[in-house]
Amino acid sequence: IVKLLQDNGEIAAMTGDGVNDAPALKQADIGVAMGITGTEVSKGAAEMVLTDDNFASIVSAIEEGRAIYDNIRKFIKYLLSSNVGEILVMFVALLMNLRVPLIAIQILWINLVTDGLPAIALGFEAAEEGVMRRKPRPKDESIFAGGIGRHIIMIGILIAIVTLWGYIWGHTQYGMEAFSPTLGIEKFTYDDLTDLVDAELVPLNWDDLSESQRQAVLLEEYATLNEADLNEILPDVQLPEDWDNLPEEERAAFFGEGEGAHIAMLEHGAEEGIIGQAERIPRSIAFTILAFTQMFEVMGIHAGDRISFFRKGFGKNNLLLGAVVSTFLLQLAVLYVPFLQSAFHTAPLAGPELLVSLILASTVLFAVELEKIINRREADEEYHTPVQATA
């Protein structure tokens, strides 16, 4: 009987408790043995053992199994799409000749906190509505079936687009040029520049320097300058004799041993060079957008492939709600708590900057919802039509 059902394309389940049931239990797609009255042979041949010998438990077990499998798919869908987004942000920035939008510790924060907490909460998601009306999936179906691969690529690209857009926009808000190695800061006056970075980093005679001298200061390429320029830029640094005739290696070694202006300026409390500090706000915007996209994406994914988040909300998964709220608050702490700013090289964002970050990140949730609408017919075909009761 089991073979006939399978030859007809059906998924067959078989129950049994005796030794003679073992071949059928083994042949079936899912063999169900009795835990109390069943023999050890039947239990060994089965995939499921009913510890209470109650056939009603089969339904509960299958429902729980489907919920676990769905949560694994959601977990993969969420983590891989966000990781693809992170990779694309860094790779595309390199191709576009931009500076690095995120530093190592910020990427680590994204992976461990803003990715990690919601991903763990997805594992506690309850079974979706109508899960027992779903048709059995094909035996050879990949875990990436049902549009997961398409979702990973689509959402990953969107995450990269909004993150890089926010990063570039952050530069323009402060008059910087995102695609310039010096960010165009050499055009700033002393007053404008010290509004953006620590005054200790900027030479007092900044306004008197030529544009090429300013670029050398910004790029910390002091070894390339002649003695006259260096005396003008770094009047307090005692240069070796006959500086202009020294080999380039000796010049570089001189500044590499701690005599450079940026090293001296670090002793005044600064943590980065001029460009590094100027980049803090645009980088903080990109960092925040990327963190918020994770939260908006997990909100859409947890609701399932057919149900809108705006209809379901967080449902009964209070752990996910707590993870999203906690992640949001932790991200704000990284932006606004001084010692965390220092650790993560961030800067406090103004209200409009934070609002833009939220709006850009929220596009991911709307993209997930749009994907559900487009795929709803395909998803509905995976479900049996409910049997209508007749009078």
Structure tokens at 314: 């967080």
Question: For the chain, where are the alpha helices, taking DSSP H only?
Answer: 2-7, 22-27, 40-45, 56-95, 104-109, 116-122, 148-173, 190-196, 211-219, 227-233, 248-254, 261-266, 274-278, 280-302, 309-312, 318-336, 338-344, 351-380
Asked whether the predicted pLDDT for residue 319 surpasses 70, the reply is: yes
The band of 379, judged by pLDDT with boundaries at 50, 70 and 90, is: low
Of 113-122, 144-153, 243-252, 293-302, give the lowest mean pLDDT range: 243-252
Length of the chain: 391
Region label for 346, one of left (φ > 0), alpha (ψ between -120 and 50) or beta (otherwise): beta
Q: What is the pTM of this model?
A: 0.82
**How many CA within 13 A on the CB side of residue 93?**
24
Q: Is the pLDDT score of 260 beyond 50?
A: no
Determine what percent of the chain is predicted with pLDDT higher than 90. 35
CB 73, CB 143: distance < 8 Å? yes
Tokens 């993150």 — which residue? 163
Shared domain check, 196 and 152: no
The verdict on 146 and 241 lying in the same domain is no
Rounded CA gap, 335 and 343, in Å?
Answer: 10
- Whether residue 388 is contained in a domain is answered as no
The vertex-305 CA angle with 88 and 64, nearest 5°, equals 115
- Does the pLDDT at position 10 exceed 90? no
C-alpha pair distances (Å), 151 with each of 157, 164, 232, 372: 10, 20, 57, 10
Amino acid symbol at 284: S
Please give the tally of structural domains in the chain. Answer: 3
Choose between 152 and 248: higher pLDDT: 152
**Looking at the structure, do residues 11 and 33 belong to the same domain, yes or no?**
yes
Last residue of a domain, one of 218, 245, 277: 277
Quick one: pLDDT at residue 265? Answer: 42
- Clarify whether residues 105 and 163 are in a common domain: yes
Domain that holds residue 15: 2-54
- Same domain (yes/no): 264, 286: no
The mean per-residue pLDDT over the stretch 100-109 comes to: 92
Per DSSP, 53 falls in state: -
- Residues 233-239, mean pLDDT to the nearest whole number: 75
Which two structure tokens, joined as six digits, stand for 270? 């600064």
Taking residue 55's Cβ as centre, other Cβ atoms within 10 Å add up to 11
Report the relative pairing of strands 30-34 and 13-16 from DSSP bridges: parallel
| Domain-located, residue 390 | no
The Cα 107–Cα 291 span in angstroms is 10
